[in-house]
Amino acid sequence: MTEISKYTDVDVYCKATECGIGDRLYCSSLIGDLQEAAERSSHSIGYGTDFLKENAICWIILKMRLHFTELPSWHETFRIRTWANTIDKIYYGRDFEIYSSDGRLIGQSTSTWILADWNTHRPVIANKRPELPPQVIQDPRLVFGEKCPKIVFPSRNDVAGETEKPVIIKYADYNELDRNRHVNNSRYTAWAYDALFKCGYDVSLIEDLVINYNSEVKAGEKVELFITKNGDKVSVFGYKNIDTKVFACELTIKQG
C-alpha cells in the first residue's frame, strides 16, 4: 500500500494575465490556484477528479475562508500547501497555507466540500460506495483553529427591499463557465471584488474573505449583486431569478 503523505505542496507561477492593479495576483485567481492544489492532493489520496468521474462522482465546494497578508506578485513562484483534515458525515474539510517565494507564510485558507453525484449533484456517502477507497485525514490541524464559518444569508427582500436596484449585474457568459457549463465558483469572488470596486472601496485593503456557495448558475443566467456594510466587514450577496440565493461573500477591509 502506498504511504499517504501528510501534505501536498504545489508550486504556482504568477502570470501577468492573472494580475491586476499593482501587479498582484487577483484574489479570484488565487482561489482557483487553491482548488487546483486541492485536486492534486485529492488525487494523491485516491479521490482525484478523473477517478471520480469514471464513477459519476464529483467534488463540490460549499464554503471557503481565505486570509492573507499579501498577494503573490507577477513573476513570483509561490507555494501552496494543502491537506485533508476533517470528515463529518458527508462534509470534508481541507485547509491550505500559502508561502511566498522566499518562504514566508502569507496566507491561510480553510474549506468545506462534499462528494456528489455527477448528474444530480446530490451528496454521495463514500462508505456506502464500495468502489471508493477508504477516506483519509492527512493531518487534523485547522489553520484557524476552527472549521469554515457559515454566513447568514438574508432573503433578497431583506437586503434590497422592493425598490433598491442591484449594485452590479453579472451574466453567465462563456468565459465565466467551467467544464460543467456552470459559472466557475472562483468567479463569484471576482464578482464580489467588482461590486466593491464599483462602489468606491479600495479592494487592495481586503485581507480576509469568507464565501459560501448556495446555488449553481448556468449558462446565460443573470445574477444581481447587493452590498451591506457592518464595521470593517462588507458583505456581497448574489441572487438569480429574483430571490434564489447564489452566493454570499463577507470581506474584511484592513483599517488604516
- From residue 40, alpha-carbon distances to 30, 71, 86 in Å are 15, 22, 18
The matching CATH number, chosen from 3.90.380.10, 3.20.20.150, 3.40.50.300, 3.10.129.10, for 8-128 is: 3.10.129.10
Give yes or no for a contact between 79 and 57, defined as CB atoms under 8 angstroms apart.
Answer: no
Domain extent listing, the chain: 8-128, 156-253
C-alpha cell at 78: 509561490
- From residue 138, alpha-carbon distances to 41, 105, 135, 209, 229 in Å are 10, 20, 10, 25, 38
Identify the CATH class of 156-253: alpha beta
Give the separation between CA 66 and CA 243, rounded to whole angstroms: 27
Q: What is the pLDDT along the chain (256 residues), one digit of tens a residue?
A: 356 789 999 999 999 999 999 999 999 999 999 999 999 999 999 999 999 999 999 999 999 999 999 999 999 999 999 999 999 999 999 999 999 999 999 999 999 999 999 999 899 999 899 999 999 999 999 999 999 999 999 999 999 887 789 999 999 999 999 888 899 999 999 999 999 999 999 999 999 999 999 999 999 999 999 999 998 899 999 999 989 999 999 999 998 6
User: What's the pTM value of the predicted model, to 2 decimals?
Assistant: 0.94
Q: Do domains 8-128 and 156-253 have the same CATH topology?
A: yes
